[in-house]
Structure 1
């Protein structure tokens, strides 16, 4: 949905694309912590299934309810923060006009957060049950709906008012609402899930299950926020030092985020397969297979980004717009760098999913903290002075390679017969 929205926003003008990127940088940083909390549902359900014990419907229902309640707890203060996005962005050195435009976009877009997290709770459950079809169907439907609503609301087609950037934010909110509602209906009426009675007793807070998810999910969420926070800080750096290249940065970031989704899906499958394996050898085999699949997908993406960047960039920007040629040249260079870090990004997310299957989350969080904020961002700060946007992306790449190598070493200890990583 972010990709389709960015493609439509880019047709307004490059400045609108830059403003939406700043807004999304804040939004996604907040969203990722909620994603970490929901990610804890999959290994807990999968471990119980893999142990041979009967996974009771009550236990599964409590985990799902805990996911809903935890996200409500997270969302309320986040909404307050995002409502004040303009002063936050100005504090980060952004131009007042750009900060105000990004904040106006977020004033609509931010309400997408809760329905998005509701969808992700249910998707995590379906992943753990190894029945992801409904999640795929509703996700694809939401992407199509988002594209249509963007077309209707940005330029005011079919007699609707032309809302510009605000129309795109409204389109994404409505698409997330559809996604959460459609998947809720699907799990409620599908005979395979009806016996879980997922929405029965939802008004009662399952405090113990909430605490369990926090214990496992908070380190996951913090680790993801550290990664996304690095990209958010990188966006702020680009906007401060090289605002002309901010649209090029936005294009490269959206494309890299889109190609990242396949390794992310493989990582989620790795979590379930590693957690559900009855023996160490089977768990290790599942992990190594997932890693090879993730790297294979990343290599294919890298080849495309490096060899044919122009057609991809053309999806986001009108060549007739003033400054479009300069944006195209800058974006092509960034896509080349993004092609290189595809491999590291895929490796780190799949390795994180593999370790998550072992319920090993604290050490990966510390590795993320060191790699992103001790290596990647400091290098970006150093290189941005002379190399601007390119220097920032080199710093991002260094951080991703560092975390990938450290996680690989941690997984190697387990898979080669060493001591199993301690449970979070």
Structure 2
């Protein structure tokens, strides 16, 4: 009888791959978190504007990152077959696609102040958010290129460097914020524009570090040779897989950005409290996102080997680990809301107590959807690993936009629950997505793979003659 790894071995493999990814996601988010904390100490109105602008930037960024996320399952499957040529082809064309995307979406950043004014934000907040994005928009290209490199390195299971580079980026960003937001060490005091400039510097430095590492550590992949030469077959494959991934991410992220817009209708203080509670909830979400990334790699490699039992056991292990982490964060949100929210605010600010009171209630609502949020991202991770992206896109759109957003608006405004109602609507959308995505994988996708695919790996894509 063939000896197969047990759940303990799967857990060790997931942790070995996933912990650096969790750390890198937390560190990456710490860059945004640093902006929020420093701007909260600088001026609460600037914080509210950064919440709005940061959400807008992230929506644009995460949609284009679908092409970067597509690299992970494609490279994982290729590496599972021992085919480095296909791994290189997919990564190169992903670099093409994200570069084109960054160029096309730059005008959205440059004219964002008009967009914010058109959707009902106060003139002061809209103007400040626009000032932030006119600068930060030029960081989209290095940021999204960096995502491609991170996805590639995750797929080849070199995740420690991702963590190290991201940790270095946190330090660079904090230093640049200290210099440019507050005008320390002879720098001009730029406020929210300084936070934007710091982000661009950090993204450029991180991208260059990652390029240097790949060139030195993985010369056999020849990643940067003849980058100008098109590979339309690989381009089409990355595009076909990446568009549904990007739209799936857009459906969820835009839901949270829409919630920020709705909280903006209630005023600057509720928006600031919402932004703080969302930052805290997002930090804990990074744990599940890192485990989901690891599950994508493991599922992709199992697909390349046609190891169906290994795929099943690995998926169950990842889901159980994520559920355990969710339980811990629920306890923290319920027992320590005040101290967590207070970290973001100047103790001397006269509006501090009001923001803490609003944020405490919102964080309590956030505890309701921790498990649902964890389960939906784990299901998406496993589905992405087996290159199943179109149906998850449909499920996400229905759950978040046909259920989550209407419920959030109805509870928040016609029913009159305000910010709490908006967050309860978010929980409804996430919960529905979690149930439907899990059912789709376990009832449809996994049985279909076992029955339809041959026991040996399928042949790789033919390499271009050129």
State the TM-score, normalizing by the size of structure 2. 0.87
Equivalent in the alignment of 2:330: 302
Alpha-carbon distance between aligned partners in 2 of 1:93 and 1:383, rounded to the nearest angstrom = 20
Equivalent in the alignment of 2:235: 210
Alpha-carbon distance between aligned partners in 1 of 2:452 and 2:428, rounded to the nearest angstrom = 28
- Structure 1 range deviating more: 227-236 or 305-314: 305-314
2:167 matches 1:140: yes
Q: Which of residues 13, 18, 22 is equivalent to 2:52?
A: 22
Q: Which of residues 72, 80, 83 is equivalent to 1:55?
A: 83
Equivalent in the alignment of 2:20: none
Shift of 1:297: 1.6
Structure 1 unaligned residues grouped into runs of 5+:
none
Alpha-carbon distance between aligned partners in 1 of 2:425 and 2:204, rounded to the nearest angstrom = 36
Q: Which of residues 228, 234, 240 is equivalent to 2:253?
A: 228
- Structure 1 range deviating more: 398-407 or 278-287: 278-287
Equivalent in the alignment of 1:13: 43
Distance 1:288 1:204, change over 3 A: same
Shift of 1:416: 7.2
Distance 1:310 1:211, change over 3 A: same
Alpha-carbon distance between aligned partners in 2 of 1:298 and 1:194, rounded to the nearest angstrom = 40
Trace 1:79-158 onto structure 2 (pairs within 5 A).
79-158=106-185
Equivalent in the alignment of 1:258: 283
Alpha-carbon distance between aligned partners in 2 of 1:302 and 1:287, rounded to the nearest angstrom = 23
How many residue pairs get aligned? The number is 418
Equivalent in the alignment of 2:345: 317
2:430 matches 1:400: yes
- Structure 1 range deviating more: 362-371 or 316-325: 316-325
Distance 1:49 1:260, change over 3 A: same
Q: Does the Cα contact within 8 Å between 2:142 and 2:203 map onto a contact in 1?
A: yes
Equivalent in the alignment of 2:9: none
2:57 matches 1:32: no
Equivalent in the alignment of 2:71: 41
Shift of 1:127: 0.7
2:32 matches 1:2: yes
Q: Which of residues 389, 397, 412 is equivalent to 1:369?
A: 397
Partner SS, residue 417 of structure 2: helix
Structure 2 unaligned residues grouped into runs of 5+:
1-30, 454-466
Alpha-carbon distance between aligned partners in 2 of 1:422 and 1:393, rounded to the nearest angstrom = 42
Backbone CA RMSD of aligned residues: 1.7
Which digits, 9 at most, give the CA deviation of each residue in 1:67-99, with x for residues without a partner?
Answer: 111001111121111111111111211111110
Partner SS, residue 11 of structure 1: helix
Q: Does the Cα contact within 8 Å between 1:40 and 1:216 map onto a contact in 2?
A: yes
Equivalent in the alignment of 1:78: 105
Alpha-carbon distance between aligned partners in 2 of 1:422 and 1:399, rounded to the nearest angstrom = 32
Shift of 1:328: 0.5
Shift of 1:243: 3.6
Distance 1:421 1:70, change over 3 A: farther
Alpha-carbon distance between aligned partners in 2 of 1:77 and 1:273, rounded to the nearest angstrom = 34
Alpha-carbon distance between aligned partners in 1 of 2:451 and 2:139, rounded to the nearest angstrom = 36
Shift of 1:159: 1.4
Distance 1:357 1:132, change over 3 A: same
2:411 matches 1:383: yes
Alpha-carbon distance between aligned partners in 1 of 2:442 and 2:451, rounded to the nearest angstrom = 11
Alpha-carbon distance between aligned partners in 2 of 1:311 and 1:144, rounded to the nearest angstrom = 24
Q: Does the Cα contact within 8 Å between 1:298 and 1:346 map onto a contact in 2?
A: yes
Partner SS, residue 181 of structure 2: helix
Q: Which of residues 291, 316, 320 is equivalent to 1:292?
A: 320
Q: Does the Cα contact within 8 Å between 2:404 and 2:430 map onto a contact in 1?
A: yes
Q: Does the Cα contact within 8 Å between 1:414 and 1:420 map onto a contact in 2?
A: no
Alpha-carbon distance between aligned partners in 1 of 2:222 and 2:329, rounded to the nearest angstrom = 41
